[in-house]
């Protein structure tokens, strides 16, 4: 009997459904303190929502570094939402502090993972910047949130020998943790240090822009919790979306443009020292 | 399961995720082993393809050495993988944009090629052994000859043709495999210390160098164990080639270093701190000074001073051991050194491999020792030495092949 070919949309939905189940079940497994409550996790079996079409979106991220106050609620929310290892060596997102002291030409840089900041916070799972510059004469200082750039030409996807990490049609770089062999070539290839090795799953891990949330019309956790609107997220296909307006209304830049990766995380208010 | 993190201390600013080194000592061992394979195969090919008589006594032994190492090449990679049981995913669904997607195919092809070449090289001897042996031995040698006992002139000519073809394919394959390993590192733009067009060529030359050095050491050691005189012509020939290739290798690495320093791109201040600080001893002292310049000097003295006898043997072995150390340091300085420079170009990390565990120093020692164990077993099963043949099978000496090009 000649097998009838399923219409592409059904195939796509089945595929998305599979991804959804993978991501959500992983999230559910790891998700102590998850923003998703249990009820939501159970209903998320149908993830992504039946009416989600990944060809209709083009997600992008914006960072207004002039607004960031270094409160690190983003880092905390990200860890909670995604069940990432709470220690100081695994971050899907982090914040860098750049400080120019008077008379110094180069910035002093640290992040919440700095041992001094951890000591001030009291534990690795608590994220805080210490007050080390209180007695110094600071010339200029600012914070820069960092996250996976979900590049248009991602070096991490290029080097993956199995295709376990891939770019979705809506512009997000994801990892299939059930297929990843854990070679960490992608961790090496990312110029931004956005990837790390998950010692529990023994696979690579990185920011997904909270794919399980954005496909339901929600914002990524870090964007949701930012009290000052330093993180902007949206659909570039929608000219009225916050990210489209952010890119239209500002002179935006990207990190390490010379790599040719063409990041989709757009910055304003950063300085030459920011890599 | 509790996983112990090997967290690296650092100075300056590094990205938070960089404090755990992605690639460990195993990834330094891996190119070292592929290099030895390519080098050993070169020695074998010098006789089998180019007909250089000097290397004749070592040609078959070099082939077994290449095979022994090649079989274990995937081991350090498997020990590194988070999911070694999924390793074949890369072969089932290769993602062709990855510089590593073809490794499985390359490696498998090359193992097959080596096995096939060994089959033809040892076929005649194995036929004789199958005839003389009884019981299990007969069965074994019968099996490795595929129960074909035709050693007529016609059959031997046929063998030689195959051998030549395989060796001709093998030379670019071995060097391709190793140049490819260099590309795995050199093609990464994220690491200032790696992203270089010269990397594949540098890997290639250091590979050839390491193979020659290994065979000098193995030839002397096996001769001592077998209580046969060391073939001085062979040692002199190997020493000469080692000297020549070493000069090129050092030159290339010098050019590479000069490029990084002279171009002085962003992060040069950090690189200068790096090479004059943590990398000074492993790079300038061990890799270049003691590991390359010193043996170049010793070898030049041995070759041009027309030194012979014990001095030649001791000098060549000492040089070879230094070169083997130097090439390992080169792998270490590339793989580990490259990761010591933070992607922020604002900080330096340090790495100390754990003593125990899957990716530890102890595991690396075992991985490096395993091919020698296999080589010992193979030399017992298939003695590659001419004099052993003479003892076991008087006729074998008469059948000794002429260099293939001379046919």
Q: Is residue B265's pLDDT more than 80?
A: yes
Using 50, 70 and 90 to split pLDDT, how confident is the model at B196? confident
Average pLDDT over residues B336-359: 93
Percent of the residues in chain A that have a pLDDT greater than 70, as a whole number: 82
Q: Give chain B positions within 8 Å (CB) of A162.
A: 86, 89-90, 93-95, 101
CB atoms A158 and B97 under 8 Å? yes
Average pLDDT over residues A4-26: 48
Q: Crossing angle for the helix pair B361-381 and B56-72, nearest 10 degrees?
A: 130
Which tens digit of pLDDT belongs to each residue from A139-152?
999 999 999 999 99
Q: Give chain A positions within 8 Å (CB) of B89.
A: 162, 164, 179, 181
Give the residue from chain B lying closest to A206, CA to CA.
B17
Range of lowest pLDDT (A211-215, B34-38, B63-67, B100-104): B100-104
Q: Is A259 on the interface with B (CB under 8 A)?
A: yes
Please work out, in degrees rounded to the nearest 5, the angle formed at the alpha carbon of residue B397 by the alpha carbons of B395 and B398: 70
Q: Give chain B positions within 8 Å (CB) of A129.
A: none
Q: Give chain A positions within 8 Å (CB) of B18.
A: 193
CB atoms A109 and B344 under 8 Å? yes
CA atoms of B253 and B38, how far apart (whole Å): 19
- Cβ atoms within 10 Å, residue A1: 3
Q: B interface mutation test: which of A129, A180, A193 has the most B CBs within 10 A?
A: A193
CA atoms of B61 and B57, how far apart (whole Å): 8
Q: How far is A1 from chain B (nearest CA, A)?
A: 29
Q: What are phi and psi of B25, to 5 degrees?
A: -55, -30
Q: Give chain A positions within 8 Å (CB) of B15.
A: 94, 111, 146, 192-193
Which tens digit of pLDDT belongs to each residue from A182-229?
999 999 999 999 999 999 999 999 999 999 999 999 999 999 999 999
Q: Is A203 on the interface with B (CB under 8 A)?
A: yes
- Provide CB contacts within 8 A for B248, sequence distance 6+: B205
CB atoms A162 and B90 under 8 Å? yes
CA atoms of A228 and A52, how far apart (whole Å): 29
Q: How far is A241 from chain B (nearest CA, A)?
A: 31
Q: List, as ranges, residues 148-177 from A with C-beta within 8 Å of B.
A: 155, 157-164
Give the residue from chain A lying closest to B8, CA to CA.
A89
Chain-centroid distance, C-alpha A183: 21
Domains along the sequence of chain A with CATH: 9-46+150-205 (3.30.70.20), 59-147+211-268 (3.30.70.20)
Q: How far is A110 from chain B (nearest CA, A)?
A: 6
Using 50, 70 and 90 to split pLDDT, how confident is the model at B65? very high
Using 50, 70 and 90 to split pLDDT, how confident is the model at A239? very high
B55: DSSP letter: G
Tokens standing for residue B128: 């004789």
Using 50, 70 and 90 to split pLDDT, how confident is the model at A14? low
User: Exposed, middle or buried: residue B309 (CB in 10 Å: 0-12, 13-18, 19+)?
Assistant: exposed
ipTM associated with this complex: 0.89
Which tens digit of pLDDT belongs to each residue from B88-131?
999 999 999 998 898 899 999 999 999 999 999 999 999 999 99
Chain-centroid distance, C-alpha B392: 31
Greatest alpha-carbon span in chain A: 82
CA atoms of B358 and B6, how far apart (whole Å): 12
The mean predicted confidence, pLDDT, of chain B is 90
- Cβ atoms within 10 Å, residue B102: 17
Q: How far is CA A136 from CA A100, A101, A143, A144, B166, in A?
A: 10, 7, 17, 21, 71
CB atoms A179 and B7 under 8 Å? no
Q: How far is A215 from chain B (nearest CA, A)?
A: 27
Q: Which of A87, A110, A190 sits opposite B190 (nearest CB)?
A: A190
Q: How far is A51 from chain B (nearest CA, A)?
A: 30
Q: Is residue A28's pLDDT more than 70?
A: no
């Amino acid at each position: 009997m000649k097998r009838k070919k399923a219409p592409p949309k059904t195939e796509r939905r089945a595929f998305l459904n599979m991804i959804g189940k993978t991501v959500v079940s992983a999230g559910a497994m790891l998700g102590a303190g998850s923003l998703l409550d249990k009820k939501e996790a159970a209903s998320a079996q149908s993830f992504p929502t039946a009416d989600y079409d990944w060809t209709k979106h083009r997600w992008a991220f914006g960072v207004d570094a002039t607004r960031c106050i270094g409160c690190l609620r983003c880092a905390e929310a990200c860890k909670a939402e995604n069940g990432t290892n709470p220690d100081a060596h695994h971050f899907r997102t982090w914040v860098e502090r750049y400080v120019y002291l008077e008379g110094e030409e180069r910035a002093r840089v640290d992040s919440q993972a700095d041992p001094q900041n951890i000591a001030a916070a009291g534990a690795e799972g608590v994220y805080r910047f210490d007050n080390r510059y209180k007695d110094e004469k600071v010339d200029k200082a600012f914070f820069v949130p960092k996250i996976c750039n979900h590049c248009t030409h991602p070096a991490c996807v290029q080097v993956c020998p199995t295709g376990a990490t891939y770019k979705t049609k809506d512009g997000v770089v994801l990892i299939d943790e059930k297929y990843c062999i854990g070679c960490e070539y992608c961790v090496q290839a990312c110029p931004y240090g956005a990837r790390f090795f998950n010692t529990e799953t023994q696979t690579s891990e990185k920011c997904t822009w909270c794919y399980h949330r954005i496909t339901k019309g929600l914002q990524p956790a870090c964007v949701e919790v930012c009290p000052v609107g330093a993180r902007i997220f949206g659909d570039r296909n929608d000219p009225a979306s916050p990210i489209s307006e952010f890119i239209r209304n500002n002179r935006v830049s990207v990190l390490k443009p010379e790599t040719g990766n063409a990041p989709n995380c757009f910055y304003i208010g950063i300085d030459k020292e920011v890599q | 399961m509790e996983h112990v993190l090997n967290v690296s201390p650092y100075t300056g600013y590094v990205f938070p995720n960089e404090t755990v080194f992605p690639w460990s000592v195993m990834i330094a061992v891996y190119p070292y082993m592929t290099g030895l394979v390519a080098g050993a195969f070169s020695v074998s090919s010098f006789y089998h393809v180019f007909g250089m008589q000097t290397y004749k006594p070592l040609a078959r032994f070099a082939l077994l050495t290449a095979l022994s190492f090649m079989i274990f090449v995937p081991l350090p990679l498997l020990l590194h993988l988070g999911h070694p049981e999924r390793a074949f995913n890369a072969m089932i669904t290769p993602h062709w944009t990855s510089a590593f997607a073809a490794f499985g195919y390359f490696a498998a092809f090359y193992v097959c090629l080596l096995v096939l070449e060994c089959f033809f090289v040892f076929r005649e001897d194995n036929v004789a052994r199958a005839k003389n042996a009884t019981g299990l031995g007969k069965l074994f040698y019968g099996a490795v000859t595929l129960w074909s006992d035709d050693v007529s002139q016609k059959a031997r000519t046929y063998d030689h043709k195959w051998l030549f073809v395989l060796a001709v394919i093998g030379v670019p394959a071995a060097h391709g495999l190793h140049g490819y390993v260099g590309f795995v590192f050199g093609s990464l733009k994220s690491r200032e210390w790696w992203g270089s067009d010269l990397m594949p060529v540098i890997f290639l030359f250091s590979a050839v160098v390491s193979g020659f050095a290994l065979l000098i050491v193995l030839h002397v050691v096996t001769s001592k164990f077998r209580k046969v005189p060391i073939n001085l012509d062979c040692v002199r020939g190997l020493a000469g080639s080692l000297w020549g290739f070493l000069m090129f290798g050092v030159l290339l690495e010098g050019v590479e270093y000069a490029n990084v320093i002279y171009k002085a791109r962003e992060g040069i201040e950090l690189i200068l701190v790096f090479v004059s600080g943590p990398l000074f001893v492993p790079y300038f002292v061990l890799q270049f000074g003691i590991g390359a310049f010193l043996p170049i000097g010793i070898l030049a003295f041995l070759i041009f001073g027309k030194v012979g006898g014990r001095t030649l043997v001791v000098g060549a072995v000492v040089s070879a051991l230094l070169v083997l150390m130097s090439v390992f340091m080169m792998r270490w300085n590339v793989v580990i050194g490259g990761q010591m420079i933070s992607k922020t170009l604002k900080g330096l990390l340090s790495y100390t491999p754990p003593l125990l565990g899957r990716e530890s120093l102890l595991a690396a020692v075992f991985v490096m020792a395993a091919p020698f164990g296999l080589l010992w077993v193979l030399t017992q099963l298939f003695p590659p030495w001419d004099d052993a043949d003479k003892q076991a099978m008087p006729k074998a000496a008469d059948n000794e092949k002429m260099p293939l090009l001379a046919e």
